[in-house]
Amino acid sequence: MKRTRINQIGVWAAAGALLVACAAPSAAPTSAPAQPSAGEAAAPTKLRAKLVLNGTLGDKSFFDSAQRGMDMMKNELGWETKTIECTYDRNKWLPCLEDAAATDDYDILIAGTFDMSDYVTQVAPKYPNKRFWMFDAAPDYENCANKCANVYTVLFRQNEGSYLLGVLAAGLLKEGAIPGVTSSSKIGIIGGMDIPVINDFIVGFKQGLRDSGVDPEAATIVQYVGGDNPWNNPAKGKEIALAMYNQGASIVWGVAGNTGSGAFEAAVEANAYTFGVDSDQYFTIADPKQRETIITSMLKNVDKGLFRAAKLHLEGKLGYGAPEAVGVAGDAVGVAVNENTRRLVSESILKSVEAAAAAVKEGKVTVETAFK
């Protein structure tokens, strides 16, 4: 199919959020930590940013989106960038981060996901003259040795983006225009782990169904992958997805990193449909038959968040020492609209999603969250 420009519903402002910058390394906290940057002078324009992944590139989702942000910093701002892939072996994550932090080849060190929170809490205070950025999860600021005053965190309101996806899904079930998708259909959700950040997707999605007149408990099947490899096991994702299709699901949504990509293969076999996550997976999945199953994707714009943070850092406006939450109003989350979406989703449903996005942006709708 001819590739068309990606649009997003529910996202109009400049993107939401991330990271920080500056200075030379210190082997131990021998000087006062960097303070929040409100009022700091603008940073040098050419900086060195290093991305440390607790996984690998090629997930066609979350980590690949972060890499696109690094590419934007390199190509549009002229920064030097480097990416370290620590693999999916949990035993390697802390030493990999420690090794990356100990070298003098970065001004900003970037890490993300809840799995890295404790490690950044341990490592960042040892290098008070360096800046650390976290995305999608925060360090323990309160118990951090220097209160993590040199750490900037962006938290994405994935519940808001998922709310919009729920509104869209409700429209599909009620309209019944897609073959096999009817009012009695179910939507399967594959969660990587039973943790707040994943449950935030599910809570928002279910509210979108409910606010649109669909009973979320009757219309959804939720299963967590769990185990030692929840994020990089496509075969397990396919197995779960096939079971969901056999239980009456007509659409499966994988919220489990690369594990969720197994749902696309399952959908081809089951002659069914999928939702993507984090990136517009219609453009990241190579197999044309799998791509055609992807109705839309719930977007978590890590790439735009990183790039926005880089620009704010250059302006001396990026703060540290506390997390920042960004959502629909900041172009941080949304729903993808591409040629396949327009082929499968009616204009009336897309307009209902636009209206829901406006309501969230204007504060008329408050989306529930799994974070307490």
Cα(first)–Cα(last) distance of the chain, in Å? 44
Return the structure tokens found at 321.
Answer: 């020492």
What pLDDT does 26 receive? 26
**Domain 158-300+331-361 CATH (choose: 3.30.420.40, 3.40.50.1100, 3.40.50.2300, 2.60.40.2480):** 3.40.50.2300
The pLDDT tens digits of the residues spanning 23-66 come to 222 222 222 333 444 334 445 668 999 999 999 999 888 899 99
- For the chain, the residue count is 372
Query: Are 80 and 49 in contact, with CB atoms under 8 Å apart?
Result: yes
Return the structure tokens found at 20.
Answer: 């920080």
- Report, in angstroms and rounded to the nearest whole number, the Rg of the chain calculated over CA atoms: 20
What pLDDT does 43 receive? 56
**Domain layout of the chain by residue ranges:** 12-156+303-329, 158-300+331-361
Residues of the chain with pLDDT under 70: 1-45
The CATH number given to 12-156+303-329 is 3.40.50.2300
What pLDDT does 39 receive? 36
| Geometric angle at alpha carbon 232, from 301 and 88, rounded to 5° | 95
Q: Mapped to the 3 state alphabet, what secondary structure does the chain carry?
A: CCCCCCEEECCCCCCCCCCCCCCCCCCCCCCCCCCCCCCCCCCCCCCEEEEEECCCCCCCCHHHHHHHHHHHHHHHHCCEEEEEECCCCHHHHHHHHHHHHHCCCCCEEEEECHHHHHHHHHHHHHCCCCEEEEECCCCCCCCCCCCCCCEEEEEECHHHHHHHHHHHHHHHHHHCCCCCCCCCCEEEEEECCCCHHHHHHHHHHHHHHHHCCCCHHHHEEEEECCCCCCCCCHHHHHHHHHHHHHCCEEEEEEECHHHHHHHHHHHHHHCCEEEEEECCCCCCCCCHHHHCCEEEEEEECHHHHHHHHHHHHHCCCCCCCCEEEECHHHCCEEEEECHHHHHHCCHHHHHHHHHHHHHHHCCCCCCCCCCC
**Same topology for domains 12-156+303-329 and 158-300+331-361, yes or no?**
yes
What pLDDT does 45 receive? 67
